[in-house]
C-alpha cells in the first residue's frame, strides 16, 4: 500500500472526510503536513520521502532539487487551479506527474466572489457595515455615498475562464465590458462578450477593473504607480487572481493620495499578511482571506477530482487533469 501526503491543503477532506476515507481504503495511509512557505527542498524530501502521492496547496514550492531527490513520488495534485509553486517541467523530467483542478470547477465560484467584491466596494457595503457596528449609523453620512453600477464600464484583465463569467454577470447591470488580454484576438474577445483594448485604454476608461490573470514574469507588478495615475479617481480595483499582479506599496500610496477609489482583494503577494501590513488599517481596502472558490459545492467537486486522479495513477494510468508544463 502507498501513502498520500496532504501538504498545506487545509480544506481537502476537512468538510468531506469521506474522501480521506476513500484514500485510506484504496491507496493506504493519508497524513497531513503544514510546512512553512520557505522550507528547503532537502527538508521537504526528508519529510515526504515515503510518500507516493502529494496533494498540495498554494505553498510551499516544489522545485527541481526536490524532484531530483524523491524517486518514489508518482503524482503531485494541486488542490486548486494555479500551479505556480510546482515546477511541472522538473517533475516530468524526474518521472513525476502533476495534475490540478480543472478551471471549470471554480469558474462560477470565483466569478461570483469577484462580483460580490465589486458590489461591496462600489456600494461601500463592508465599510458601512463596520461603521454601524462602531455606533456610527448617522455620523457624517457623506462618507456613505457609493456608486451606481448600472451602465458603467467594467474592465477585465484576463478574458478567459473566470473573466468571461464575470462579464456575463455584470451585463445584468447593463455594463459595458472591455478587456485586456494579450493572448486573445479582438474577434475572439467580441465572441466572448467584450471589446478588446490595450492596457492603458482599460485603465483610463474603466469604472471597475477586475483581475483574472495568471502572474508571470511579464505582468508581475503591472498595477504600479504609473498604472494607478491613469485610473479614474473613483475607480474600483478588484483582485481575485494573484496578489503579485499589484505592486502593494504603490497601491497603498495611490489610495492615500486619492488617485483611485478603492481596492477589494482576496489575494496578497505574501499570505497571510503580517499584523502590521498597511492594508489592515486602510479603510479604502477590502481584504478577504483567499476564499474565492471556498464554498461547499466547489470544495466537494475539488476533493472528488483529486481522489480520482490519485486512484487513476495508482492503477498505472494517468491523471485526468495531467499538466504538461
Catalytic one of 107, 192, 242, 321: 242
Q: Supply the pLDDT for residue 103.
A: 87
Q: Which CATH number is 4-100+295-314 given?
A: 3.40.50.720
Domain residue spans of the chain: 4-100+295-314, 105-287
Q: Supply the pLDDT for residue 68.
A: 98
Catalytic one of 18, 271, 297, 318: 271
Tens digits of residue pLDDT in 231-290: 999 999 999 999 999 999 999 999 999 999 999 999 999 989 999 999 999 999 999 999
- One-character DSSP codes across 133-202: HTT-SSTTGGGG-----TT-EEEEES-SHHHHHHHHHHGGGT-EEEEE-TTS-HHHHHHTT-EE--HHHH
Burial of 260 (0-12, 13-18, 19+ CB in 10 A): buried
Q: Supply the pLDDT for residue 82.
A: 85
Q: Supply the pLDDT for residue 113.
A: 98
Q: What is the pLDDT along the chain (325 residues), one digit of tens a residue?
A: 899 999 999 999 999 999 999 999 999 999 999 999 999 999 999 999 999 999 999 999 999 999 999 999 999 999 998 898 999 999 999 999 999 999 899 999 999 999 999 999 999 999 999 999 999 999 999 999 999 999 999 999 999 999 999 999 999 999 999 999 999 999 999 999 999 999 999 999 999 999 999 899 999 999 999 999 999 999 999 999 999 999 999 999 999 999 999 999 999 999 899 999 999 999 999 999 999 999 999 999 999 999 999 999 999 999 999 998 6
Task: Supply 186's cell numbers.
Answer: 479582438
Catalytic one of 165, 192, 290, 321: 290
Please give the Cα distance from 124 to 119 (Å, whole number).
8
Q: Supply the pLDDT for residue 109.
A: 96
78: annotated active-site residue: no
271: annotated active-site residue: yes
**CATH 3.40.50.720, domain 105-287, yes or no:** yes
- Asked whether the beta carbons of 158 and 241 are under 8 A apart, the reply is yes
Please give the Cα distance from 315 to 275 (Å, whole number).
46
- Asked whether the beta carbons of 101 and 78 are under 8 A apart, the reply is yes
Q: Supply the pLDDT for residue 64.
A: 98
141: annotated active-site residue: no
Please give the Cα distance from 154 to 109 (Å, whole number).
19
Domains 4-100+295-314 and 105-287 equal at CATH topology level: yes
Q: Supply the pLDDT for residue 1.
A: 85
pTM of the model: 0.86
Amino acid at each position: 500500500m502507498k501513502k498520500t501526503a496532504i501538504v498545506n491543503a487545509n480544506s481537502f477532506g476537512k468538510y468531506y472526510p469521506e474522501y480521506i476515507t476513500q484514500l485510506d481504503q484504496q491507496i493506504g495511509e493519508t497524513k497531513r503536513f503544514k510546512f512553512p512557505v520557505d522550507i528547503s527542498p532537502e527538508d521537504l524530501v526528508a519529510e515526504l520521502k515515503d510518500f507516493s502521492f502529494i496533494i498540495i496547496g498554494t505553498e510551499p514550492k516544489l522545485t527541481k532539487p526536490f524532484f531530483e531527490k524523491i524517486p518514489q513520488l508518482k503524482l503531485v495534485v494541486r488542490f486548486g487551479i494555479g500551479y505556480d509553486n510546482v515546477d511541472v517541467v522538473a517533475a516530468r523530467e524526474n518521472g513525476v506527474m502533476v495534475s490540478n483542478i480543472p478551471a471549470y470547477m471554480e469558474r462560477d465560484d470565483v466569478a461570483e466572489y469577484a462580483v460580490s467584491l465589486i458590489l461591496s466596494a462600489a456600494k461601500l457595503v463592508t465599510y458601512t457595515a463596520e461603521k454601524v457596528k462602531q455606533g456610527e449609523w448617522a455620523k457624517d453620512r457623506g462618507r456613505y455615498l457609493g456608486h451606481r453600477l448600472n451602465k458603467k464600464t467594467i474592465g477585465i484583465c484576463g478574458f478567459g475562464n473566470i473573466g468571461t463569467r464575470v462579464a456575463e454577470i455584470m451585463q445584468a447591470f447593463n455594463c459595458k465590458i472591455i478587456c485586456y488580454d494579450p493572448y486573445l484576438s479582438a474577434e475572439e474577445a467580441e465572441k466572448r462578450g467584450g471589446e478588446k483594448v490595450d492596457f492603458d485604454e482599460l485603465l483610463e476608461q474603466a469604472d471597475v477593473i477586475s483581475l483574472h490573470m495568471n502572474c508571470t514574469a511579464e505582468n508581475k507588478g503591472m498595477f504600479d504607480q504609473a498604472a494607478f495615475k491613469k485610473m479614474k479617481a473613483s475607480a474600483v480595483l478588484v483582485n481575485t487572481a494573484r496578489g503579485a499582479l499589484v505592486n502593494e506599496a504603490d497601491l497603498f500610496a495611490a489610495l492615500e493620495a486619492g488617485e483611485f477609489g478603492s481596492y477589494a482583494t482576496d489575494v496578497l503577494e505574501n499570505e497571510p499578511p503580517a499584523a502590521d501590513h498597511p492594508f489592515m488599517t486602510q479603510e479604502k481596502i477590502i481584504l478577504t482571506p483567499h476564499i474565492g472558490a471556498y464554498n461547499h459545492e466547489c470544495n466537494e467537486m475539488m476533493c472528488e477530482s483529486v481522489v480520482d486522479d490519485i486512484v487513476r495513477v495508482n492503477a498505472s494510468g494517468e491523471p485526468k487533469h495531467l499538466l504538461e508544463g
